[in-house]
Amino acid sequence: MELILDTAEVSEVAEIAAWGVLSGVTTNPTLIRRSGGDFIDTVCQIADLCSGPISAEVTATDVEGMLEQAHELKRILPKNVIIKVPCNPEGLEVCRSLSNDGIGVNVTLVFSASQALLAAKAGAMYVSPFVGRIDDTGEDGMQLIREIMGIWTHYPQLETKVLAASIRSTEHVIECMKVGTHACTMPTKIFRELITHSLTDIGIEKFLADWSAVEAEGRSHSS
């Protein structure tokens, strides 16, 4: 499963990229605004740190505007940047046009299996179902991931990857692994929680204590 970081903080990308596990980065206007950085400069820095696909979202809502923004972004941004568009009729039309031009597209704000399939038929490289936002309504967001992955098994010709988004916990990530989700994008906090375990910390402390004892014994024998 591709592990993708959802952030616009360059320092966070540098931190997780250093682990050697980062497959890509997703950004959106909210994350860019929160980071306080310039959009183009921020995406360029992120793309320099991670060779995987970097999702940059258009902000226009009409087909002509989205296409104009998308082609301008592809002109000025690094080659590993792909374009993120919303899952609505305009977004699907833009997705098909960009895909026909060989431009990777991440179709975002997916909340149903039918939306996911339509986006895939429109040529999306990724479809992004929002797990956490469905949970916020009282429904089970992971059920949507399970439904989509079940449908994908019936259509092996689909090349679109399912990218679970709006991840709120490590449990979400583990469940995505279990059902074979192609990719998962999550905040830095979740990445850190995935690598942390109290028994690992205890084990390291014990190894260090034992090694200190070995060194102390060696010094006593040599004196």
**Which residues in 48-81 are b (16+ Cβ under 10 Å) and which e?**
ebbebbbbbbbeeeebeebbebbeebbeebeebb
CA distance to 25, 45, 128, per residue, from 14 (Å): 11, 10, 24
As a whole number of angstroms, the distance between CA 70 and CA 41 comes to 16
Distance CA 161, CA 155 (A): 12
The answer to whether the beta carbons of residues 43 and 56 sit under 8 Å apart is yes
d(CA 177, CA 71): 34
> For residue 209, what pLDDT is reported?
86
Q: What is the CATH number of domain 2-197?
A: 3.20.20.70
Token pair of 18 as six digits: 């250093």
Q: Residue 124: is it exposed, middle or buried by C-beta count within 10 angstroms (0-12/13-18/19+)?
A: buried
Instruction: Write out residues in the chain with pLDDT < 70, as ranges.
Output: 220-223
Structure tokens at 91: 């977004």
How many whole angstroms separate alpha carbon 148 and alpha carbon 151? 5
- Enter the tokens of residue 107: 């179709």
Q: Active site includes 189?
A: no
Candidate list 74, 79, 84, 206, residue with the active-site label: 84
Q: Which amino acid is present at 75?
A: R
Please tell me the predicted confidence (pLDDT) of residue 221.
Answer: 67
Residue 37 CA: distances (Å) to CA of 17, 26, 29, 93: 20, 15, 11, 30
Query: What is the predicted pLDDT for the residue at 210?
Result: 82
Question: What's the distance, Cα to Cα, between the start and end of the chain in Å?
Answer: 55
Confidence at residue 95, expressed as pLDDT on a 0 to 100 scale: 98
The 8-class DSSP code of residue 28 comes to: -
pTM score, two decimals?
Answer: 0.92
| HSE-CB for 17 with a 13 A CA cutoff | 19
Give one word for 123, left, alpha or beta, with left for phi > 0 and alpha for psi -120 to 50: left
**CA-to-CA distance for 187 and 57, rounded, in angstroms?**
17
